[in-house]
Amino acid sequence: MGVHSRLTGLRDLSPGERRALAAKSAGLDPGALDVLDPAAGLTLDQADHMIENVVGVLGVPVGVATNFRVNGSDVLVPMATEEPSVVAAASNAARIARVHGGFATTCSAPIMQAQVQVLGAADPQAARLRLLEARGELTALANAQDPRLVEFGGGVRDITVRLVPSGEDVYVVLHLVVDVRDAMGANAVNTMAEAVAARVGEIAGGRTLLRILTNKADLRLARARAVFDAEALGGPQVVRDIVHAAALAEADPYRAATHNKGIMNGVTAVVLATGNDTRAVEAGAHSHAVAPDGRYTSLSHFERDAEGNLSGSLELPMPVGLVGGATKVHPVARAAVRLLGVRTASELAGVVAAVGLAQNLAALRALATEGIQRGHMSLHARNVAVTAGASPEEIPTVVARMLAAKAVRADRAEQILAELRAGAGAAEGD
Ligand code: MEV
């Protein structure tokens, strides 16, 4: 049975009912996501094995984004975030993208790189060539550190050497270019870099210092594109204004930072939900946002296509994995990966890029039309109503009246509740 991501009415259910429906719609057994119940999630004991000096665990809401169609298949997307509106906005944008088939994604091979820094080589130019001549020897030495990776079709693909001038010095910097398959790959490439360092120093005729991966993972790219229907967006003027909004981000670093933050709202939420390293993905994204001329710019592009619809595209490094680390250890991350139904790290990377593009489009559309505060205010109003003591039946009325009066405040919520209850009491007394 295929996955269905068009789950209307999800928000009217309880969290437990939503879990069961999401699991069923993803073709899983109804209890497959029950580990997402805080009472069943990461135990203190499990946490104690993950990091040091553990004193507790942090609960972050996990929502399910609906309507996503990626490369012709529906997918339900788990998103971990503390920010209101993010999950709803992504689902909304995915609904608009569906009109023209959803998201198309591609990924490069899962290539990570590690750097080995050499200091004090007397002849850096010649040292570079000597290291390139030793490609076979260094490759064998590095691959010997991870026979399982090689067995699974990964391992060193290339060795490159760069000369990096800094003041009086010229550092010889060797890169191990490694296919890490379904791992995020930090451990694999760091182990290899440490293993080859001494020999690299000998060949280069210098002292090795740093041996570490680069988070500028520009050989491990994920790309997503989608056509957003002009009518569903609100008409041709909205399309034109979104293009202008995106153009400002391309031209102005102040806007680009916020524009890219909107993309990362979606990206980080999926990366976190699947137990991946959010900082690695963020470091990669921001380093990729630097144009060849050194300007910080936007990661995505928006254009009007020949039919007048909005064509959006996004490319960014996506160092995420499915094996090793928290993805395998954290029960919630495991359930999130099951919900996604992805079988390879590249499939996961493609979905993350699609969510980033959806999130970006949702923000731009809101900014180009009514602004983002209205959407935020309805969610904020819900929280105010709950804090004022509204029951689940009373919440919609309290929220609607506060929004209509443009007064989303605790005192107003309490007043509306008192009026509602007095009215209900009078009706019962009739
Ligand atoms: C808020 O978390 C994200 C936005 O600021 C992104 C944007 O401005 O594009 C709405």
Residues 263 and 329 grouped into a single domain: yes
The pLDDT of residue 383: 86
Between 331-340 and 345-368, two packed helices, what is the crossing angle to 10 degrees?
80
Asked whether residue 240 falls in the same domain as residue 100, the answer is yes
Kindly state whether residue 167 falls inside one of the protein's structural domains. Answer: yes
Q: Are residues 364 and 236 in the same domain?
A: yes
CATH number of the domain encompassing residue 187: 3.30.70.420
Task: Indicate left, alpha or beta for 406 from its phi (over 0: left) and psi (-120 to 50: alpha).
Answer: left
Pocket-testing residue among 82, 265, 297, ligand 1, by greatest number of atoms within 8 A of Cβ: 265
Residue nearest (by alpha carbon) to ligand 1 atom 2: 262
389 and 244 share a domain?
no
What predicted TM-score, i.e. pTM, was given to this entire model? 0.91
pLDDT at 428: 59
What's residue 429's pLDDT? 56
User: Among 161, 179, 213, where does a domain finish?
Assistant: 213
Cβ 321 vs Cβ 333: under 8 Å? no
Euclidean distance between CA atoms 403 and 218, whole angstroms:
46
Q: Examine residue 139 and state whether it is found in any structural domain, yes or no.
A: yes
Q: Give residues (CB < 6 A) around ligand 1.
A: 83, 258-259, 261-262, 265, 363-364, 367, 372
- Shared-domain flag, residues 152 and 245: no
Ligand 1 center from residue 356 Cα (angstroms)? 12
pLDDT, averaged per 10 consecutive residues of the chain (430 residues), comes to 86 94 95 94 94 95 98 98 96 98 98 98 98 98 98 98 97 98 97 98 98 98 98 98 98 98 98 98 98 96 98 98 89 96 97 98 96 79 92 92 92 95 72
- The CATH number of the domain where 362 resides is what? 3.90.770.10
Q: Where in the sequence is the domain holding 121, given as residue range(s)?
A: 111-213
Q: If you write DSSP's letter for every residue of 37-79 in order, what string do you get? A: SGGGS--HHHHHHHSSS--------EEEE---EETTEE--EEE
CA 373 to chain centre: 23
For residues 232 and 362, the answer to whether their CB atoms sit within 8 Å is no
Rounded to whole angstroms, the Cα distance separating 140 from 330 reads: 34
Q: Where are the beta strands (DSSP E) in 123-198?
A: 155-166, 169-179
In this structure, the answer to whether residues 235 and 309 fall within a common structural domain is yes
Q: In this structure, is residue 80 part of a structural domain?
A: yes
Report the CATH number at residue 402: 1.10.8.660
pLDDT given for residue 348 in this prediction: 98
Atom of ligand 1 nearest to the CA of 259: 9
Closest approach atom of ligand 1 to CA 372: 10
Residues 184 and 278 in one domain: no
Do 392 and 419 fall within a single domain?
Answer: yes
Ligand 1 midpoint to CA 368 (Å)? 12
> Are 270 and 357 within one domain?
yes
Q: Are residues 364 and 378 in the same domain?
A: no
| CA neighbours closer than 13 Å in the CB half-sphere of residue 230 | 15
Q: Could you tell which of 267, 367, 370 is best to mutate to test the pocket of ligand 1, judged by most ligand atoms within 8 Å of the CB?
A: 367
Q: Whose CA is nearest to atom 9 of ligand 1?
A: 259
CA of 317 to the centre of ligand 1 (A): 21
Token output for 393: 């039946």
Helix, coil or strand: residue 236: helix
Domain contains 304: yes
| Nearest-angstrom CA–CA distance, 213 and 237 | 46
Asked if the structure places residue 16 within a domain, the reply is no
Residue 28 lies in a domain: no
Annotated catalytic residues are 83, 261, 277, 376
Domain membership of residue 35 (yes or no) is no
Count the domains in the chain: 3
Six token digits for residue 91: 């689902």
Residue 71 lies in a domain: yes
Pairing state between β 207-213 and 77-80: unpaired
Looking at the structure, do residues 133 and 90 belong to the same domain, yes or no?
A: no
Same domain, 409 and 339: no
Cβ–Cβ < 8 Å for 313, 250: no
Cross-strand pairs, 226: 103, 312
Element (H, E) at 163: strand 155-166
Would you state the pLDDT for residue 116?
A: 98
Cα-Cα-Cα-Cα torsion 323, 329, 330, 333, nearest 10 degrees, comes to: 20
pLDDT digits (tens, 9 = 90+) for 364-400: 999 999 888 777 787 788 889 999 999 989 999 999 9
* Ligand 1 center–CA 100 separation, angstroms: 25
Out of 333, 351, 369, a domain closes at 369
| The domain boundary residue, chosen from 185, 213, 241 | 213
Write the residue with the smallest CA distance to atom 3 of ligand 1: 262
CA-CA distance, 320 to 306, in Å (whole number)?
A: 35
Question: Which ligand 1 atom minimizes the distance to the CA of 255?
Answer: 8
Measure 379 CA to ligand 1 centroid, in angstroms. 16
